[in-house]
Amino acid sequence: MPSAVEQLLHDAAYVDAFLAQIGHFRSQQQSSQIYVDPTTEFFHYVKQLEEASRAFVVALDAGRVDATHVGLARATLQDIKNYWRLLHAFIKPAADAHVLQVPAPLIEFATSQIRRIPGFANANVVLLLTPELMYFQDPHTDLKLTAAELAHVIPQAGFSVQLGFIELPFSQGSNLFTNLVLYHELGHFVFEELCSAPQPGCDPGQIEGEIRMALNAHWSGYAALSADEKAFFVGILRSWSQEIFCDLFALHLIGPAFTFAFIEVFSLLGLQDTALQTQFTESHPSDALRFAEHLAMLTDTGWWDHIQTLDSWHRVILEECAGKSGSSSLHIDGQPYPDPGLVDAFKDVLPTLRDMVRHISAETTTSAENFARLRPEVESALLWGVVPPVHPSGQPGAGIDPDPVSIINAAFCFYLTRLPELLRNLNLSAERTPEVQARSFWAARLQTWTLKAVEDHQIMSKRESRV
């Protein structure tokens, strides 16, 4: 039977080899690919932590650990290894997301919007590529808290402030419209940051307090629950709150294009089942309630006035689904449960969530009127296969700002309603190419032109800020 010290040395050697392999992979990737700045910053953190972790592990050698402290040292070693197991899941997806694989102009524009929010001037988002056809924001706050606790053992574990992680499906790098769902994930990043650094008028702690009050008001049995049971149900309402915050945040930043993208990505065009549309799960409120909130926010911000007559199924789905928000059912862990009052309690919290989003995104909201004025110009450019101009066509002072949000929304409306017109205009009728193929090809081109306009706007803005 090997001694406890012998086992500790065995474990330490394993961890050292594991870290050496990670370091080898990381340096190989960094020498062969180009990454956006936040990813480079993340890899710098990984490198520093690799070196510090290996130094810690190597120091367990040379008889520095006496027999009475071996158990403690082994547990610490296991915790270090477990932290690296969490970090391990980020490294390969970050390495895959080099500049040729991500919609860099959109990300750059979205980051510039986030940085206009008070308290977010240094925000950075690391992109990760996921094999799943889904968008995620990885909850970085808990990882940072774990890192802060590990920093008592390895000081270099402390995480860079305001570094978030967002996952994109690996296949959707060049797709502009579906990638607009990213804005919801950016909302998660902002919400998490606000939890640890609230801004005036936008304090998630207020939501937390309201959740507890609402649960007490709508569920007579709540007060008698044990602390862990209360935490479970508060956690459910906290998740729902965060989802609604993120939807409304995305709408404020990118307008109704977010709702359209949401419908595209989640195939809601085909989802006509009322039971599913009104289902609340432990992580998400129902689609019906979410769309009701979308509709209310679009109406409140003036966007709805300009899209309510859009001749598209996306607009119809939004209205129909929102109309079902009065119904609900509760599913936890895939099983149906009677609702003891969670949905009613949640509805009490919604006004505060709406106010929080209005407050936090006040500096980044685009006027719906500007979109309405710019839309004809963008659509006429796209109709002839031309990149929308980023200079206003009118005289200086005409008041039309060719901002990317208006361009993206106009292009999305064009995509939903006028793609067949584009095919006819460019004489690309079904006689020469099957219509599905033609639509698919020209929809992709349309997104490329729009993304180019967004990029042009970024270049112009940078030039103007230098002058």
Partner 1 sequence: MKADLRSRSQCLTLALFTQRTIRELLNFIETGNRDTLRPALSDALTSLEDVRRGELPQFTQRRPALFASYEHLRTLEEVWSRDEQDAAVSDLHNLLQEDPTSPDAQASAHRLIDLLTKLGNRARWNFEQRSITPPHRLRELCQVQ
- Which residue ranges make up the site for partner 1 (CB under 8 A)? 69, 72, 75-76, 78-79, 82-83, 86, 89-90, 93, 130-132, 136, 138-139, 141-143, 145-146, 149-150, 152-153, 167, 195-196, 198, 203-205, 208-209, 212, 219-221, 224-232, 234-235, 238, 282, 330, 332-333, 337-341
Q: Which is nearer to partner 1, 188 or 290 (CB)?
A: 188
CB closer to partner 1 out of 179 and 409: 179
Name residue 127's beta-bridge partners.
166
If the CB atoms of residues 57 and 297 are measured against partner 1, the closer one turns out to be 57
Of the candidates 458, 381, 457, 445, the residue with the CA atom closest to the CA atom of residue 175: 445
Least spacing, CB of residue 136 vs partner 1, in Å? 7
Asked if residues 110 and 164 have their Cβ atoms less than 8 Å apart, the reply is no
Look at strands 335-337 and 329-332 and give their pairing.
Answer: antiparallel
- As measured in angstroms, the least distance from the Cβ of 284 to partner 1 is 12
- Note whether 454 and 408 are within 8 A (CB): yes
Closest CB to partner 1 among residues 133, 460: 133
CA distance 171 to 131: 8
Question: Among residues 195 and 383, whose Cβ is nearest to partner 1?
Answer: 195
The distance of closest approach from Cβ of residue 347 to partner 1 in the complex, given in angstroms and rounded to an integer, is 17
- Closest CB to partner 1 among 45 and 371? 45
What's the CA gap between 322 and 303, in Å, rounded?
A: 16
Who's near 334: CB < 8 A, 6+ residues apart?
A: none
CB of 441 to partner 1, least distance (A): 31
Distance CA 105, CA 453 (A): 9
DSSP string, 422-442: HHHHTT--TTTS-HHHHHHHH
User: Which is closer to partner 1, CB of 75 or CB of 121?
Assistant: 75
Nearer to partner 1, 33 or 206 (CB): 206
Taking the complex as a whole, how short is the minimal distance between the CB of residue 118 and partner 1, in angstroms?
18
CA-CA-CA-CA dihedral for 370, 371, 377, 379, to nearest 10:
180
Minimum CB distance to partner 1, residue 204 (Å): 5
**Least distance between partner 1 and beta carbon 343 (Å):** 12
State the minimum distance, in angstroms, from the CB of residue 16 to partner 1.
Answer: 20
DSSP 98-113: -GGGS-HHHHHHHHHH
Amino acid identity of residue 310, one-letter, is: L
Closest CB 200 distance from partner 1, rounded Å:
15
Helices (H), 66-203: 70-96, 104-114, 140-150, 182-196
Q: What does the alpha-carbon distance between residue 436 and residue 442 come to, in Å, rounded to a whole number?
A: 10
Tokens 């509709």 belong to: 295
| Residues facing 330 on adjacent strands | 280, 337
What's the rounded Cα separation, in Å, for the pair 249 and 243?
A: 10
Return the number of the residue (142 or 319) whose C-beta is nearest partner 1.
142
**DSSP 8-class letter at 418:** S
Helices (H), 227-339: 227-254, 257-265, 274-277, 287-300, 303-307, 313-322
* Least CB distance to partner 1 at residue 321 (A): 25
Q: Using CB atoms within 10 Å of the CB of residue 83, give its burial: 0 to 12 exposed, 13 to 18 middle, 19+ buried.
A: buried
Query: Shortest distance, CB of residue 444 to partner 1, whole angstroms?
Result: 27
Nearer to partner 1 among residue 90 and residue 371 (C-beta): 90
Q: Which is nearer to partner 1, 8 or 318 (CB)?
A: 8
